[in-house]
Amino acid sequence: MESHHPLKLNRRRFLLNSAVTAGGIITTNVLSKSPVFGQAPAIITSDKMRPTIPYGVATGDITSNNVVIWSKSDRASRMIVEYSTNPSFSSVQRVLGPQALGNTDFTARLNLRNLPPNQQIFYRVLFQDLNQDTYSEPVNGSFRTPAITNRDILFVWGGDTAGQGWGINPEFGGMRIYETMRQLQPDFFVHCGDTIYADNPISAQVTLDDGSIWKNITTEEKSKVAETLKEFRGNYQYNLLDENVKRFNAEVPMLAQWDDHEVTNNWYPGEILTDARYAVKDVNLLVQRARQAFLEYMPIGYTTNNTEQARIYRAFNYGPLLDIFMLDERTYRGRNTPNNQPVPGPDTDMLGSKQIQWIKRQLLTSKATWKVISSDMPLGLIVRDGSTDFEAWANADNGIPLGRELEIADLLRFIKQQNIKNVVWITADVHYAAAHYYDPNKAQFQDFRPFWEFVAGPLHAGTFGPNQLENTFGPQLIFQSLPLGTRANRPPSAGLQFFGAVKINGVTKVMTVSIRDLAGQVLYSVDLPPEA
């Protein structure tokens, strides 16, 4: 990823330098391989001569004065970003970005810095062919920068996209929940993981309970479990075929983390698969390829070419009211076990010691009113891996902390000892929505401050649950979106898709958390006043 100081252009100079026609198409003189100024540009007779942008644009990792702009070309080319505070682009800044090359699947990202606060930014991305001086048509987007003073903040979150074989069905309207979220005009979006389902192939059609047919768009890469780098990349490309997703990405910055399905179900480092669908059994090899594809296709800011060194856990400040902390509960975990070890060890790791120390430092130094921790797995819900092992934190014994619960106990104790206030957890993974209040007076482990955990999802996947809560940390069920006995793997057409929304009032600082359905209807809402 490259960062550049923009070139400031007035409208006349911008039009000359860009060689923009009245229709907004950038053209060049192909013979001279440079933009022609002061004369009519050469006419390009075939779009095949020009780069294209097949999967739109996206922004991500937005913070006080910085955002990542992402896009993908269809060929070797240079990324160019133009941005303005005016939708007409009457005054514009142009930034020459990095080259999009085959080793990154022609994806590119550019870090825009020193942006004005509390400002709607309009941007457009285009690519310049490296071999002939032709330009793609621009693709537009927009976002709002955080304020340096208190103002209302609205963000949405969820997880689980294109799982269990429920793909893009044009007759259903595609991944409609993304359009529902977009219409709220949130400041940003937190994707809590399972951004793809690399282990869930998409077939052309699925017969529903009533005999009707769910019809999926299909691609070669989504026809089998992902094992090659090309197949992992194809999973991200598949989701970007959906017009709802592309429109959402162009307007709502994303903070993305991963969970298991970016690789394969319930994976952990060092695992050897027994799944007959896989020719590649070494999970570490799959992870290497999956991680590269994830970093290529998510609008994540990183500064190293070594994807193994690019951290997925990271923190973001969104003005004086909010800090967001994104965890990585995959890269550093131990193997899945019965999760009942009495002392810390390699198999009790979920975050790992380095990440634990990082999140403690982040919480301790945060000056924001609210501190939101985004966890790809819920804390108190029981998530099993087979008949004897556990996938998440909880171990179903309702007792003192054991296994991975030791890490959570340590972190919660630290938050209490340091008197860190207004910590809220958001998560996904379990394919239904819920609100849990963790009460130390009702817990087996009581050395912590009470806190809330909110669960959302699926965004476009099969609906499951509800799961059972485990009492080590005293979670109280306040709301869940499904009744007991709900049939597993309900399709998106059943309407049981859920996302969360968080609004922070710029005056009162009250945080309002709501759980919403596919249509955007509020199913549950709670106001959380901040502790002084």
Residue from 255, 250, 295, 301 nearest 58 by CA: 250
Q: What is the structure's pLDDT at 3?
A: 45
Q: What are phi and psi of 472, to 5 degrees?
A: -55, -45
Q: What is the structure's pLDDT at 49?
A: 87
With a CB cutoff of 8 Å and minimum separation 6, the contacts of 306 are: none
3-state SS string over 354-395?
HHHHHHHHHHHHCCCCEEEEEECCCCCECCEECCCEECCCCC
Q: What is the structure's pLDDT at 485?
A: 85
Q: What is the structure's pLDDT at 15?
A: 33
CB atoms within 10 A of CB 270: 11
β-strand partners of 259: none
Asked if omega into 458 is within 30° of 0 (cis), the reply is yes
Q: Tell me how far apart the alpha carbons of residues 528 and 512 are, in angstroms, rounded to a whole number.
A: 6
**Angstrom distances, CA of residue 430 to CA of 208, 220, 382:** 22, 28, 10
Q: What is the structure's pLDDT at 11?
A: 35
CB atoms within 10 A of CB 157: 28
- For every residue of 280-316, DSSP letters joined together read --BHHHHHHHHHHHHHHHS------S-TTTS-S-EEE
Q: What is the structure's pLDDT at 13?
A: 35
Q: Tell me how far apart the alpha carbons of residues 438 and 425 are, in angstroms, rounded to a whole number.
A: 11
Better-predicted residue by pLDDT, 228 or 22: 228
pLDDT tens digits, 373-416: 999 999 999 999 999 999 999 999 999 999 999 999 999 999 99
Is a pLDDT exceeding 70 seen at residue 42? no
- Please give the average per-residue pLDDT across 138-153, as a whole number: 96
Instruction: Tell me the domains of the chain and their CATH numbers.
Output: 2-144 (2.60.40.380), 155-191+239-257+311-528 (3.60.21.70)
The band of 76, judged by pLDDT with boundaries at 50, 70 and 90, is very high
Residue from 62, 362, 69, 81 nearest 186 by CA: 62
With a CB cutoff of 8 Å and minimum separation 6, the contacts of 372 are: 322, 323, 324, 325, 423, 424, 425, 426, 502
Q: What is the structure's pLDDT at 261?
A: 98
β-strand partners of 438: 451, 475
Q: What is the structure's pLDDT at 1?
A: 52
Percentage of the chain lying above the pLDDT 90 cut: 87
The band of 46, judged by pLDDT with boundaries at 50, 70 and 90, is low
Q: What is the structure's pLDDT at 484?
A: 86
Q: Tell me how far apart the alpha carbons of residues 71 and 73 are, in angstroms, rounded to a whole number.
A: 7
Q: What is the structure's pLDDT at 469?
A: 98
pLDDT tens digits, 310-349: 899 999 999 999 999 999 999 999 999 999 999 999 999 9
DSSP 407: H
Token pair belonging to 195: 């951004």
User: Quick one: CA dihedral 406, 407, 410, 412, positive or negative?
Assistant: negative
Is a pLDDT exceeding 60 seen at residue 494? yes
pLDDT tens digits, 417-457: 999 999 999 999 999 999 999 999 999 999 999 999 999 99
- Tokens 């304020």, residue? 147
Task: Calculate the CA 365 to chain-centre distance.
Answer: 25
pLDDT tens digits, 100-145: 999 999 999 999 999 999 999 999 999 999 988 899 999 999 999 9
The band of 36, judged by pLDDT with boundaries at 50, 70 and 90, is very low
- For every residue of 412-481, DSSP letters joined together read HHHHHHTT---EEEEE--SSS-EEEEE-GGGSSS--S--EEEEE---SBS-B--PPPB-GGG-EEEEEES
Q: What is the structure's pLDDT at 302?
A: 81
Amino acid at 191: H
Q: What is the structure's pLDDT at 17?
A: 37
